[in-house]
């Protein structure tokens, strides 16, 4: 074949390729804030490992702060006996009245299910836990844990399925996280005083190190560059895809998916815990979930 034909073929095969999704880079986007020697970034910043042993856990945080958008992370949790370990992936602002959106993964003995724990803090107040069993083995493969956050709602997604929604209920006096920028964090730590069967199962240190694997970090979010971002990130400008009407609430099919997850895999809902709140339920609990 003539040289130009080969070139043409190479060119055509390039064109036929799907556009590549460009993910964030751990090396450039994050810094270790705890236990750096226990963690590593490799594969040109595409992958990261967080480790826990009897001396330390480890954690990272983004350099940038965000206000609204989609924060995506693919995580493969500690496999085997992970009892007593907690792996966390969350967004948080700082200060005593901080806002926070959490995914936490509570480990378990081999063959027993992880608990996927979610929470949201507004103005420093949390106590809004919802917990789920995964419908898949979260230790066998990477799964897509994404937080969608806009002025109308927060949605927690796993592999594209919404598992939880926190709606903006400022109209009935419930603060919504819409004024404080957040960094993205991930960490693994020893929580064997409470995590597994309420603290009954302790970490088996002979199995250390415990390793959580992260990849495809993708913050498609509004970068906080000072107070001016407050209006810039929340405005209906076309660049702010997260404020488009389609993201104001779940679609009809997403509502079905949410219901499927909640009917089959939800194990704790703070809005149903009347004992805990002594009958004085948080205000948002009076509203339908979606």
DSSP string, 181-242: -BEEEEEEEE-TTTSGGGGTSPP-GGGPPEEEEEEEEEEEEEEP-STTHHHHHHS--TT-GG
98 sits near ligand NAG (criterion: CB under 6 A)? no
Question: How many other CB atoms are there within 10 angstroms of residue 94's CB atom?
Answer: 13
CB 34 within 8 A of CB 57: yes
Three-class DSSP category at 155: strand
Shortest Cβ distance from residue 148 to ligand NAG (Å)? 7
Beta bridge partners of 91: 101, 184
Report the distance separating Cα 80 and Cα 78, nearest Å: 7
Binding pattern for the stretch 58-77 against ligand NAG, x by CB under 6 A and - elsewhere: ------------x-x-----
Q: Report the residue closest to ligand NAG, judged by CB.
A: 112
Residues of this chain, 151-190, that bind ligand NAG according to CB under 6 A: 157, 160
Residues of this chain, 206-225, that bind ligand NAG according to CB under 6 A: none
Q: Which residue lies nearer to ligand NAG by CB, 241 or 277?
A: 241
Place of tokens 């909640």: 262
CB 90 within 8 A of CB 103: yes
Clarify whether 100 is annotated catalytic: yes
Q: Which of 28, 72, 104, 284 is catalytic?
A: 104
Member of 41, 67, 75, 115 binding ligand NAG (CB under 6 A)? 115
Member of 112, 143, 207, 262 binding ligand NAG (CB under 6 A)? 112
Q: Please give the size of the binding site for ligand NAG, defined by CB under 6 A.
A: 14
Q: Which residue lies nearer to ligand NAG by CB, 72 or 100?
A: 72
CB 208 within 8 A of CB 55: no
Three-class DSSP category at 220: strand
Binding pattern for the stretch 125-144 against ligand NAG, x by CB under 6 A and - elsewhere: -------------------x
Residues near ligand NAG (CB under 6 A):
70, 72, 106, 108, 112-113, 115, 144, 146, 157, 160, 195-197
| Catalytic residue list | 100, 104
């Amino acid at each position: 074949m003539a040289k130009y034909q080969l070139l043409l073929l190479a060119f055509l095969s390039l064109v036929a390729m799907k556009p590549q999704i460009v993910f964030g880079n751990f090396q450039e986007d994050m810094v270790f804030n705890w236990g750096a020697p226990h963690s590593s970034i490799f594969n040109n910043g595409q992958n990261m490992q967080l480790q826990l042993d009897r001396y330390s856990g480890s954690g990272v945080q983004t350099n940038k702060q965000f206000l609204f958008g989609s924060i995506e992370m693919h995580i493969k949790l500690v496999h085997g006996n992970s009892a007593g370990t907690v792996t966390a992936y969350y967004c948080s602002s700082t200060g005593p009245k901080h806002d926070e959106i959490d995914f936490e993964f509570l480990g378990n003995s081999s063959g027993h299910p992880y608990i996927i724990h979610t929470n949201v803090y507004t103005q420093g107040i949390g106590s809004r836990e919802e917990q789920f069993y995964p419908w898949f083995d979260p230790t066998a493969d990477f799964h897509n844990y994404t937080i969608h956050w806009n002025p109308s709602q927060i949605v927690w997604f796993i592999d594209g399925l919404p598992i939880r929604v926190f709606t903006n209920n400022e109209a009935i006096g419930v603060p919504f996280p819409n004024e404080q920028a957040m960094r993205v964090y991930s960490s693994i730590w020893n929580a064997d005083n409470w995590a597994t069967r309420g603290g009954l199962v302790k970490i088996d240190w002979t199995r250390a190190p415990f390793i959580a694997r992260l990849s495809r970090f993708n913050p498609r979010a509004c970068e906080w560059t000072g107070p001016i971002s407050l209006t810039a990130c929340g405005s209906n400008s076309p660049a702010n895809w997260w404020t488009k009407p389609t993201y104001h609430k779940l679609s009809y099919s997403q509502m079905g998916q949410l219901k499927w997850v909640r009917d089959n895999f939800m194990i704790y809902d703070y809005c149903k815990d009347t004992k805990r709140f002594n009958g004085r339920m948080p205000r948002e609990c009076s509203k339908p979930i979606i």
